[in-house]
Chains A and B, each alone.
Chain A
Amino acid sequence: MASADKLINTDVPEKDVFALHFLQSLSNLRTQNPLLNSPDKSIDRVKKIKNAAYVSMARAAGGTSRLWSRALLRRAAKDDNKSVRFSRRKRKVTWKISSKRRRSNQRAPVVEEAAERLRNLVPGGGGMETSKLMEETAHYIKCLSMQVKVMQCLVDGLSPN
């Protein structure tokens, strides 16, 4: 199946892994909150599904080996108030500290401004150096497109017709 080492490099993440995680979390959603099916809570449910999708994507993309996936997992952990275990290596990372400092340098203003917007889009991008941001963005885009594909497939396959 998928080897985590392979995913660390900017290879295309395994769709199967993502699908597994995603479906798993979906089932969890179902089993844990069976009442979410009611229409008034649909928004919350959508949000949860989305989060589940992102988290499973992050997991599929090598867990915490990537900055953006790490940020996603951490964010998810914060949202859920659940303790997602991070290894010590991950805790050392201080990507939020340098985010403000990065903004105060005088480089090509247009590019930097665009990069700034990109930082807001890519999870955990706030503290990334620009070149690192590009790298992470590349990987993130790969994973996102994969995610979209798989989700599309799921929707197509599961939609009643």
Chain B
Amino acid sequence: MDNELFMNTEFPPPPEMATHFEPPPSSSSAMMLNWALMDPNPHQDSSFLWEKSTEQQQQQQQQSIFDSALSSLVSSPTPSNSNFSGGGGDGFLIRELIGKLGNIGNNNNNSGEIYGTPMSRSASCYATPMSSPPPPTNMNSQMMMNRTTPLTEFSADPGFAERAARFSCFGSRSFNGRTNTNLPINNIVNNSGKLTRVSSTPALKALISPEVAPGGEFSRKRKSVPKGKSKENPISSASPSPSFSKTAEKKEEWGGKGSKSSEEKGGKRRREEEDEEEGEGEGNNNTKPPEPPKDYIHVRARRGQATDSHSLAERVRREKIGERMKLLQDLVPGCNKVTGKALMLDEIINYVQSLQRQVEFLSMKLSSVNDTRLDFNVDALVSKDVMIPSSNNRLHEEGLQSKSSSPRSFTHLPTLTQFTDSISQYQMFSEEDLQSIVGMGVALNPNNESQHMKIEL
């Protein structure tokens, strides 16, 4: 919170602010224009004042602020928010009443100059605190100031509105991040769903939707709430101590990082947020471009779709299948033109079927052909089988009964001349396959048999 405040005051306004305040109530918008015309600096000063005062309060009231970053975060805004956000029933009731009555004009009671218009804008986010009684309003005013000052500058900027509109989602997200880290109370309120008014703001809505899911963050913030509550009551005392606020801020950041490391998905998210904040700290409006992809990744990670072990295995499996499919694609003719696995598989199936049918057809043909001609050839081949190298012997020994049926042994290998001669004899076997087959069969035969075959064919 403190960090943010400082950033807002010191640096040019962050773009997210613009987006948030885009859809404020109509009255506030009208005021916005007026406010934009005004010089933001005085407000900044006032905001500083408020900040200091709140910090003092915190210091005095609670030493335990430093315990955790969240606590520090909570502590600064607590006085204002605690009423409605703290979870106390009475505070909530009051808040609601105030909200119903909720005129922005009421805010002027304590720090009128500060509240002017920016209050109204912030009212969109923190509808009730604006109208809340003086002490809380003080706190609110501080917060409001921090938020509003940049806004005013932004509203003065002509291109700001367009930019904001363009990156509305980004703005909302960034705002979410801010609120998450810096204003845990708000989160809680939204999550609990008590504050309907607050949630009505688009930015806050966006806040709610992502925040509810991750339990870790939420629970942590919840823990921080009671502390804030305890602090809230003795609000009144105030003595400025800026240094304290800074230290608190630092601690907060540190704590945030620690939590990051502990969490996996939430950690990612937080990192994003922090990056955003850092960008703001540098005073840059243009941290927007990298944001959308981050958001996408974050969503996927949060759901656990891509990081799930099952999905990972599934992906590996699919990659494997795709790889094999490519292999098949090269084998099956006409498969290159087809896109899509299913169609490709259809093509493959068709091809296999056609091949099998072809085999059937050919075997049919062979059955008609295979009368007497194959005898010698086969005999020769069988005899050659005996001569086959050892690597193939295993196969033949397994199931080939033919050896016993046609025992024939050849002791000599054919000469090259015989081989070529036999090939020349069978011109009809133009194909290389058959040449080799017949060649083998014939070559291994004694001469007289090859002659015989020649006659037959």
Contacts and interface: CB of A to CB of B under 8 A. Distances in A.
Contacts of B317: 130-131
Interface residues of B, number: 69
A23 B441 contact: yes
A31 interface: yes
B431 A118 contact: no
Most buried by A among B327, B359, B377: B359
A23 B388 CA distance: 15
Contact of B366 (A10, A54, A140, A154): A154
A30 B385 contact: no
Given A26-B366, A49-B366, A85 B399 contact: yes
Contact of B378 (A10, A27, A110, A144): A27
Contacts of B362: 53, 148, 151-152, 154-155
B307 interface: no
Interface residues of A, number: 75
Contacts of A27: 374-375, 378-379, 381-382, 402, 406
A16 interface: yes
A32 B385 CA distance: 19
Contact of A84 (B359, B398, B438): B398
A39 B101 CA distance: 105
Nearest to B329: A138
Instruction: Tell me if B's interface is mostly helix, strand, loop or mixed.
Output: helix
A25 B433 contact: no
A160 B369 contact: yes
Contacts of A71: none
A9 interface: no
A28 B405 contact: yes
A118 B348 contact: yes
Interface of B: 317, 320-321, 323-325, 327-328, 331-332, 341-342, 345-346, 348-349, 351-353, 355-356, 358-360, 362-371, 373-375, 377-379, 381-382, 384-385, 388-389, 391-392, 394-395, 398-402, 405-406, 426, 428-429, 431, 433-434, 436-438, 440-441, 457
12 contacts: A1-B391, A2-B391, A20-B437, A28-B400, A49-B366, A50-B360, A59-B395, A121-B353, A134-B328, A138-B331, A151-B366, A153-B434
| 7 nearest A-B residue pairs (beta carbon) | A134-B324, A27-B378, A114-B345, A153-B434, A151-B362, A50-B363, A49-B363
Given A131-B317, A153-B429, 6 more contacts: A2-B392, A15-B436, A27-B382, A31-B402, A111-B342, A157-B457
